[in-house]
Chain A
Amino acid sequence: YCFGAEFRRFSLERSKPGKFEEFYGLLQHVHKIPNVDVLVGYTDIHGDLLPINNDDNYHKAVSTANPLLRIFIQRKEDADYSAFGTDTMTRKKNVLSNVLRPDNHKKKPHIVISMPQDFRPVSSIIDVDILPETHRRVRLYKYGTDKPLGFYIRDGSSVRVTPHGLEKVPGIFISRLVPGGLAQSTGLLAVNDEVLEVNGIEVSGKSLDQVTDMMIANSRNLIITVRPANQRNNVVRNSRTSGSSGQSTESSLPSSTPNILANFLQGEEESDEEDIVIEDSGEPQQIPKAAPTNESIESLTQIELLHESTQNGFLPSSEMNLNHSAGSISMEYEVQDPDHKSLEDGTIITL
């Protein structure tokens, strides 16, 4: 169901790119796939994978070629729409792995309403399946858009259920949305939403300035978990489709979340913000990641190992059920985390 790693290189006259239909035909011809419906995409200057499906974006694509235009072609029925959009090509290997081994990242079947491939995502709700219903994890794609993130946070206090009963604890809240900003345009964040996590790190116990710095440090790929002030628009849990295999359910447990998720996210975004180096006043290039050598293996494996453990060290579903039955009030559980325990009992290997 995939073309595999098949590459073709050909040239076009830049000044006269012609029509999309012709180009599409050319592609089918070059790849000898005349009767297959395909999605065509290209990498723009930001490294994003963007679609080519009409004359306008085709012309745009050709005009950005510098000097090569890299085009990706996927068979339509297998296409992974999520591959398009922000940050995609900078994480080239992730995209490729998505494309080449989609079973690794089994996504929910997409219900195509319009043509999502025509747009660049600006935000998404993620991890719906693993979070309590009262929480919402929002990812803002700043990169590639000119819109400001556009929100403000403030100190405040919230009531939390603790083993000692109801307690008022300090918290961080969204205080203002800038009109026309990314945050406002998504509709996923609102004034008075309580911020619980920033890129997987809990904010409790951190000062407003610390949380500000964390958000700005993550601003290129900001994932914030909030408890919306308005709880009526929450995703209803039982709409969860069977397509989700119950992966990575552990992160709803506050006690184990920070470390693991942090490393997970770190691993995920590992290559999404490559620095640029200009050698000898030449062309800017993205800095490649050095191949791990023996001397650096200690720290590198750490990330990978933890990454691995998040994928394999799932909690038994019974633990999850307990969590689900909790209803809509956010509860702080004192749940013994078996994953955590095993880490401590595990043999320690020194490299």
Chain B
Amino acid sequence: MRRFLRPGHDPVRERLKRDLFQFNKTVEHGFPHQPSALGYSPFLHLMAIGTRSGAIKLYGAPGVEFMGLHEENNTVMQIHFIPDQCQLVTLLDDNSLHLWSLKQHSGASELREEHRFTLKGPPGSPPSATQITAVLPHSSREVLYLGTESGNIFVVEIPSFRVLEDRTITSEAALQRVPEDYCNRRSCELVEALREHPKNPDQILIGYSRGLIVLWDLQNNKVTHHFLGSQQLENLYWQRDGSKFISCHYDGSYTQWPVSSDNRQPEPLENVVPYGPFPCKAISKIYWQTTKNGLPYIIFQGGMPRASYGDRHSISVVHGSQQTAFDFTSRVIDFFIIFSSEPTAGFDDPSAMVVLAEEELVVIDLKSAGWPAVHPPYLASLHCSAITCSHHVSNIPLKLWERIISAGSKQNVHYSNMPWPIDGGTNIAPDPPQRDLLLTGHEDGTVRFWDASGVCLHLLYKLSTVRVFLTDADPNDNMNTLGEDEWPPLRKVGTFDPYSDDPRLGIQKIYLCKYSGYLAVAGTAGQVLVMELNDEDAEHVVDHAEADLLQDQEGYRWKGHEKLKTRDGPVRFEAGFQPFVLVQCQPPAVVTSLALHSEWKLVAFGTSHGFGLFDHQQKRLVFVKCTLHPSDQLALEGPLSRVKSLKKSLRQSFRRIRRSRVSSRKRRGGGGNASEVRGPPFGILSVQEANAKFDPDALQEMELAPVQRKIEARSAEDSFTGFVRTLYFADTFLRDSSRHCPSLWAGTNGGTVYAFCLRVPPAERRMDEPVRAEQAKEIQLMHRAPVVGILVLDGRSTPLPEPLEVAHDLSKSPDMQGSHQLLVVSEEQFKVFTLPKVSSKLKLKLTALEGCRVRKVTVANFGSCKTDDYSENDLAVLTNLGDIQIISLPFLKLQIRYPCIRKEDVSGIASCVFTKYGQGFYLISPSEFERFSLSTKWLVEPRCVVDIPEVSSNNHVHTRSGVENAARKSRAVKHWNWCPQARVVKCKLWLALLVSQ
């Protein structure tokens, strides 16, 4: 009967698997990719951001966040909260309106789409008749006023979206009694702005694009005032008491108009061009805020002199004699002011300005002197310099945590102390179970330390490695050194800076020991820095050592970049991680693997040429090993040899863009509609837009195109076989089964594993005797696939603990009685060998069976959600198809498989990191990490409540299917499309050049 045994059909195990494993995408960290709209509810204290891919994200107090996705994946053009409600309306670029609401469901609030609606004109009318340009949710909460391209204003009831035809405000009605000559000069054109009177809900202000503004009385259905503007209108703003309003214009001017019952057709009070007299850019939005001291805050977007500052993305704040033009790093999408919204308060008294720029969120404290920026607790721009690698460390000891925070707080002194002003909702999620750090390495040579414990990914500390090196850019050459009397008074704000001074500074590998505070960081030009945490500033010399990985090889010529020049003499480092030794690999190829053993005080590093071991206690190179195959010319020539493939991939991506542009045009039909006209000019945005719209059909089409693949066995002569993919320290039985010793393991791209026996002197003689190493084994996997992971299992088949883990009482001592086993993971197979004599014991040939290859592999500990005392170690594996598989240890049985990332999303797959407790992160765009969990026990997801102060009676009960529909939608797989990050930046650079020429 034994022959009928089939894998995976043990009911006990199946039940246990259900208690251990569960896949969830829990939260998106970072800054939304391609934001397109901003909304704010002063009532709920919630902010909403819409994106080009149809996502809508709500943020309140830290931990309070909601996410929804429009089924259409169309650009969100406008977001409006319904006054005093937990509801909001979005307008998409397909002219559809969507009503979303926050409803409580089993104790937590959820964001759901309730209704959708598209305004339809009478049969035969042109599409522009109903193309919505302005939306005004009326304070009665019963109707929306919808201004259109035709100049007509439609009234729809909410939440039913029934058009109240008898209340339509036609442009003809608005034009009645307008002087003949004015009327002739300019027709009404589209409705640019709709504003309700702050005191009288029966009056609304209507602004038409050619400059005419009318005050409309809703009770009597007629115009009460005409304001005959002479400039093309951009926006309108009521002053708090309703006695005046401001209009801003295309020519960079703003105009103040009086509203009184005496004059039905008043002249403007004043007309100002703040950055005149030369031609200026449009002022697209303006606030006029009153204060107790009488001096108003005038805050406006744009208006810069066209010729000299026309390229700036600015918002100016004017308060009496103070004036600052905040200069943003990317295009301003929209902004709002947080001010006293109490109807009883006499003044606006603005407290903060919240600006959504294309690449970051900036909040300015308007109450403190100097208007400093506020450090946002969420929406961090992960991509302020492109992310080049990530490293996750779970369960940080409190001491180290506090030291990192303290180092970070010293860097953030220029930020305002103001509490975060957007504080709606209540976070009811349990406190994070442990302190987790996510470290991201960036192209500009920085490492950012993120608090990844909870829902808000928060920057704790930023480490820069630049100070060690001499770079072309002089650090004193700051953009902010403008004199006092500079005009306009520009001030750079924000941190987004995708342009790296020197690509060689890029961080490639990070390893942090959480027990000792040692950090090793390695970069693009073969630099390996070992650092120690210091709570004080310090000035010291960084020791240098060279590791010549080519040693005995001759006749090779490195054609790649040079190593970075180092700064001579002592260097001043701020409190935090301070480098004390630099190991420079020669040739200075990118470091491809890194391992640190804080107990033995050793750091191992590998490149495409070989690997080396450095004793950072004695500051001495222990050994180097060249892994090059004599015929591996490519590895020697350096990154230049890959230029060809980069060029090719660029060409391909442009072809793809062109193709998708054609297809999206086809789908839109008529073309030339408002959304396209209003879209950004060709250049940076259209590339991203095209990528975002790159639909699955086009993809399908491409896949079926006649591409062919060569079938050839891997040979020893393949290029990059010497590329060191993985390094691993282990205290195990390498030589004989009676004595264990420290060892270093290295795996290469060509399927070779090297094992070195190390002799580390005991602590008391650590400085006196050298560390010795001797090669003990070399294993050549016959399938020659790249080795991506090496692991030693102890006598109980448990992976060996991390260095110092046992010393800190956080792990059981490894079992040194039973025999150890070696697990080698290649891209194609998992193999278990016995130790010390290497005999093959078990294998799982993943690629031969499933056609997928291993991209990432980590040991993860899975706890049971049913009982506290059961947990087991398994391998979490991400494949090149974007699937995640859990494979048991030590028997290598596939436990479960989840689709996670689209297989076309190469950057997403490349960016994935697993945590030690079965969670993970991967980039869904250059600026956002998706967090997922494979564990039933460790789940970090937003859980929050937004209280509805008053439940209004017209809240209808939606149908069950509606609920399910909405729930499905919010869970729907998000189709983000974007170029690999490096490529985005390059495209941008390139296109920017193109445009400027």
Contacts and interface: CB of A to CB of B under 8 A. Distances in A.
A299 B891 contact: yes
Interface stretch (A12-20, A115-123, A215-223): A215-223
A219 B713 contact: yes
B10 interface: yes
Interface stretch (B133-141, B202-210, B834-842): B834-842
B620 interface: no
Given A176-B708, A350-B12, A343 B4 contact: yes
A154 B706 contact: yes
B838 A277 contact: yes
Contact of B851 (A154, A210, A299, A348): A210
B875 to A, nearest CB: 14
A182 B839 CA distance: 33
B708 A175 contact: yes
A296 B714 contact: no
A184 to B, nearest CB: 12
A288 B839 CA distance: 5
A170 interface: yes
Contacts of A302: 5, 7
B834 A276 contact: no
A277 B3 contact: no
Contact of B849 (A148, A201, A296, A343): A201
Contact of B1 (A152, A275, A346): A346
A116 B806 CA distance: 63
Interface stretch (A33-41, A51-59, A105-113, A279-287): A279-287
Interface in B818-874: 828-829, 831-834, 838-842, 845, 847-853
A200 to B, nearest CB: 9
Nearest to B705: A155
Contact of A155 (B4, B706, B853, B903): B706
A301 B903 CA distance: 34
A279 B734 CA distance: 10
B711 A199 contact: no
Interface in B667-717: 703-714
A117 to B, nearest CB: 26
Interface string B772-806: 00011111111101000000000001000000000
Contacts of A170: 704
B892 interface: yes
Nearest to A212: B709
A290 interface: yes
Interface SS of chain A:
mixed
Contacts of A278: 777-780
Contact of A150 (B5, B712, B903): B712
Contact of B842 (A151, A175, A299): A299
Contacts of B828: 213, 217
Contacts of A148: 712-713
Given A276-B782, A348-B10, A289 B703 contact: no
Contact of B4 (A150, A212, A290, A347): A347
Given A214-B851, A219-B712, A346-B4, A290 B779 contact: no
Interface in A239-294: 262, 266, 273-281, 284, 287-290
A305 B703 CA distance: 40
Interface string B279-304: 00000000000000000000000000
B779 A216 contact: no
Contacts of B842: 296, 299-300
Contacts of A287: 779, 833, 838-840
Contacts of B849: 201, 214, 262
Contacts of A342: 4
B4 A296 contact: no
A257 to B, nearest CB: 13
B708 A296 contact: no
B704 A155 contact: yes
B5 A299 contact: no
B852 A213 contact: yes
A217 B845 contact: yes
Contacts of A274: 782, 840
Contacts of B233: none
B503 interface: no
B240 interface: no
B890 interface: yes
Nearest to B836: A279
B893 interface: yes
A176 B12 CA distance: 50
Contacts of A176: 708
A155 to B, nearest CB: 6
Interface of A: 142, 148-155, 170, 175-176, 183, 199, 201, 206-220, 262, 266, 273-281, 284, 287-290, 295-296, 298-302, 305-306, 308-309, 312-313, 342-343, 345-350
19 contacts: A153-B708, A155-B704, A183-B711, A213-B880, A217-B785, A217-B829, A219-B711, A275-B831, A277-B777, A277-B778, A278-B779, A280-B777, A295-B890, A296-B832, A300-B842, A308-B3, A343-B4, A349-B4, A350-B12
What 6 pairs across the A-B complex have the smallest Cβ distances? A346-B4, A210-B851, A219-B713, A217-B847, A290-B839, A212-B709
Given A201-B850, A217-B783, A279-B776, 17 more contacts: A155-B705, A212-B711, A214-B851, A215-B711, A217-B829, A219-B714, A262-B849, A273-B783, A275-B840, A277-B838, A278-B779, A278-B780, A280-B735, A281-B778, A290-B834, A290-B840, A299-B891
